[in-house]
Every structure is written in C-alpha cells, then in structure tokens.
C-alpha cells in the first residue's frame, strides 16, 4: 500500500489515470490503452472490455469490470479530449503506445524511489490484493479473464487462512 501511494504521487498527467485503472481493474496494458469513453459506464459503475474488429482481448471475450469508489472519482474527474475517444491520451490527443507508457512508468518509479518492476506487475498486485482480501478464486478468475484456474491459483498465496476463515461463522 505504501509503494502504491508513493507511485501515485509520482504520476503526472494521464499516467495517474492509467495507474488507477491498472491497479483497480487488473486490466492488461493493451486493454487499458484501447479503452474509450464509450466503454466506461460511470452511472452503472462498470468498464466494458470489448473484443471486436478494432481490438482483441487475450481471451477473445467481452467482459465487464466493476468500478470501485476510488476509480469512479478518478474517471469522473479525468479530462476528455475533444477529438480523441480514448480514456488515456497524450497532450497531442492520441493514445500513447506501449513504449511511451513504459517510459513514463519507469520515470515515475524512479521519481518515487521505488525498485524497478514491470507494468504487468500492477495486474499481479490487483490479483494478490483481491486474494488477500478474501475474494473467492472464481471471482478473481473472472475479473482477470484467466482461462485456466491454475493461473489464478498463484494469487492465493496472499489469501488469509481460508479454511479457518471458512468455518469461523458456522453455528
């Protein structure tokens, strides 16, 4: 949590919105960069991840990701470009490519005094945090669009003692 707070503090412009989406949805880099405002339903608090002729998700399926209170406020306040439909866009009004995102991300890591890690690790942070908060493995699998449950199981190392937790409230 401390590192996430440090990283948020080091993010400028569109990178803050990018980080908020990444850490609160578990979306892949390519999925975030393809998001348009048409994919965001703030009233219903959902992000629609679409697989179509313009963009194909890794699992080739459409899915909806709930928007929590923090991300709701970030997206509500995020500026919209007059011509660019993307949620994440540069000063020139175009969606950044993956190379630029990585460069800005690494700059923010240095500014925050954090060790080097990959953008994809934000996705792992999302999954690990869900598991640590006691979210069931099937829900994590659906949110992260894992085809194989074995992929999701690697996040359970962060889960509390689930057997003790499961029987605690039995009467």
Residues involved in catalysis: 28, 58, 120, 123, 146, 155
Residues contacting residue 47 through CB under 8 Å, at least 6 positions apart = 21, 25, 27, 35, 39, 40, 41, 64, 65, 67
For tokens 């074995």, what's the residue? 150
**Which residue has tokens 């690494």?**
106
Exposed/middle/buried for residue 151 (C-beta within 10 Å: 0-12, 13-18, 19+):
middle
Q: 34: closest CA among 18, 19, 12?
A: 18
| Terminal-to-terminal C-alpha distance of the chain | 35
Closest CA to 13 of 99, 83, 93, 110: 93
List strand residue ranges (DSSP E) for the chain, in order. 40-41, 46-49, 63-66
């Amino acid at each position: 949590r401390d590192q996430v707070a440090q990283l948020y503090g080091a993010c400028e412009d569109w990178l803050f919105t990018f980080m908020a989406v990444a850490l609160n949805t578990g979306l892949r880099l390519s999925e975030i960069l393809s998001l348009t405002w048409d994919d965001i339903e703030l009233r219903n608090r959902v992000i629609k991840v679409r697989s179509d002729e313009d963009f194909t998700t890794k699992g080739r399926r459409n899915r909806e990701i709930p928007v929590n209170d923090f991300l709701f406020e970030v997206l509500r306040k995020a500026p919209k470009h007059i011509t660019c439909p993307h949620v994440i866009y540069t000063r020139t009004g175009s969606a950044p490519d993956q190379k630029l995102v990585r460069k800005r991300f690494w700059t923010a890591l240095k500014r925050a005094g954090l060790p080097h890690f990959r953008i994809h690790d934000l996705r792992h942070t999302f999954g690990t945090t869900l598991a640590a908060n006691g979210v069931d493995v099937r829900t994590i699998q659906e949110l992260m669009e894992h085809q194989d449950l074995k992929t999701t199981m690697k996040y359970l190392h962060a889960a509390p003692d689930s057997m003790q937790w499961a029987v605690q409230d039995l009467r």
